[in-house]
Copies of this chain bind each other. A is one copy, B any other.
Amino acid sequence: MRNRPIPEATVARLPIYLRALLDVAEGRGDLTVSSEELARMAGVNAAKVRKDLSYLGSYGTRGVGYDVEYLLYQITRELGLTQDWPAAIIGVGNLGRALASYKGFSERGFRIASVFDVDDKVIGKKVADLVVRHLDELKEAVIDEGISIGIIATPPFAAQEVADKLVDAGVKSILNFAPAVVNVPPDVSVRKVDLSIELQILSFYQQRTQAIATAREANRRLGQQAQGRA
A158 CB-CB contact with B under 8 Å: no
- Size of chain A's interface in residues, with CB distance under 8 A? 62
Q: How far is the CB of A127 from chain B (nearest CB, A)?
A: 12
List, in ascending order, chain B residues with CB within 8 A of A204's CB.
11, 14, 78-80
**Contact present for A14 and B95 (CB under 8 Å):** no
Whole-angstrom distance between the alpha carbons of A120 and B33 in the complex? 39
List, in ascending order, chain B residues with CB within 8 A of A202's CB.
85, 149, 173-175, 189, 191
A43 CB-CB contact with B under 8 Å: yes
The stretch from A15-23, A58-66, A131-139, A216-224 touching chain B is: A15-23
Cross-interface CB contact of A181 among B43, B85, B97, cutoff 8 Å: B43
Per the 8 Å Cβ criterion, residues 202-216 of A in contact with B are: 202-210
Q: How far is the CB of A108 from chain B (nearest CB, A)?
A: 4
Chain B residue at minimal CB-CB distance from A83: B207
**Contact present for B206 and A85 (CB under 8 Å):** yes
Chain B residue at minimal CB-CB distance from A183: B43
**Contact present for A200 and B79 (CB under 8 Å):** yes
Q: Which of A11, A16, A200, A210 has the most CB of B within 10 A?
A: A200
Q: How far is the CB of A80 from chain B (nearest CB, A)?
A: 3
Q: Which of A20, A175, A187, A189 has the most CB of B within 10 A?
A: A189
A143 CB-CB contact with B under 8 Å: no
Chain B residue at minimal CB-CB distance from A41: B181
Whole-angstrom distance between the alpha carbons of A209 and B171 in the complex? 13
**Ranked 7 nearest A-B pairs via Cβ:** A80-B207, A98-B98, A173-B202, A108-B196, A15-B200, A43-B181, A15-B197
